[in-house]
Chains A and B, each alone.
Chain A
Amino acid sequence: SQQGEEDPQALSIQEGENATMNCSYKTSINNLQWYRQNSGRGLVHLILIRSNEREKHSGRLRVTLDTSKKSSSLLITASRAADTASYFCATDARETSGSRLTFGEGTQLTVNP
C-alpha cells in the first residue's frame, strides 16, 4: 500500500459540523503536507507540518502529527459547503533526500448545506 493512506475514504457531514480526516504512513518522514482538490482541478496546498511539530493551525484548519504512531489528522472546524473537496496528505520519506512527495489516495469530504 502507499506511503500515505487517508481514512476515511469518504466523509459526509452537515454544514457547521467539524470534519476530521486521518493519514497514516509507513516510513520515517521529515515533513507532512496536506492538500485540497476540488473536483477534477489542481491540488492546493493547505499546510505543512514538520516532524518535530505536534500541532499546527491555519484559520479553521488544525493539523496534528504523531510520529510515534506514524499518523496525522486534519481537522476542519465549522465546515462550510465550500469545503467540499478531496483532501490528500503527502509525505516526504527520509530516504528520498527531500526530492519527492508521496500522496495518499485522499478523503472525499462532502459538506451538506
Chain B
Amino acid sequence: EAQVTQNPRYLITVTGKKLTVTCSQNMNHEYMSWYRQDPGLGLRQIYYSMNVEVTDKGDVPEGYKVSRKEKRNFPLILESPSPNQTSLYFCASSLSLPRYNEQFFGPGTRLTVL
C-alpha cells in the first residue's frame, strides 16, 4: 500500500531532550516536507527536500533540523525541544514539485513538550 508513515504518533517529552520524528514513504517520491499544525495558524512548512541531500527551509525552520540521506526517509530532529514546539506534525511527500503534484500526508505526530 502506498503510504507515508511517521513515528512516533504521540510523544510527550521534556524541554531540552533531543528527539527525532521519523518519516518514510514507499512511493519513490522525490519531494518530502515537514509541516506543523497549530490552532488558528493552519499548516506551516518547516523544511522541505527536493531530493536526496537537497533540503531547504520553509516558513518556520528555527529549532528544527532535517536530513535526507535516502530517498525514502526524511527525519525531523529537535535538538533541544521547547514548549513552543508543542504541536501536531505532518510529513508529506509528492512525486516531484508540489506545484504539479498532490502531496501525500502521513498520519501525524502529536508532540507535547513540557
Contact = CB atoms under 8 A, between A and B. Distances in A.
Contacts of A35: 103
A100 B48 contact: yes
Interface residues of B, number: 29
Contact of A45 (B31, B59, B88, B102): B102
Contacts of A99: 31, 48, 50, 56, 97-99
A103 B104 CA distance: 14
A44 B105 contact: yes
A101 B98 contact: yes
B58 interface: yes
A88 B104 CA distance: 14
Nearest to B45: A100
A40 B98 CA distance: 22
A39 B17 CA distance: 29
Interface in A5-52: 30-31, 33, 35, 40-45, 48
B103 A100 contact: no
B108 A40 contact: yes
Interface in B79-100: 88, 90, 92, 97-100
Interface of A: 2, 30-31, 33, 35, 40-45, 48, 88, 90, 92, 97-106
Interface of B: 4, 31, 35, 40-45, 48, 50, 56, 58-59, 88, 90, 92, 97-100, 102-108, 110
Given A41-B108, A99-B56, 4 more contacts: A43-B90, A98-B98, A100-B45, A103-B35
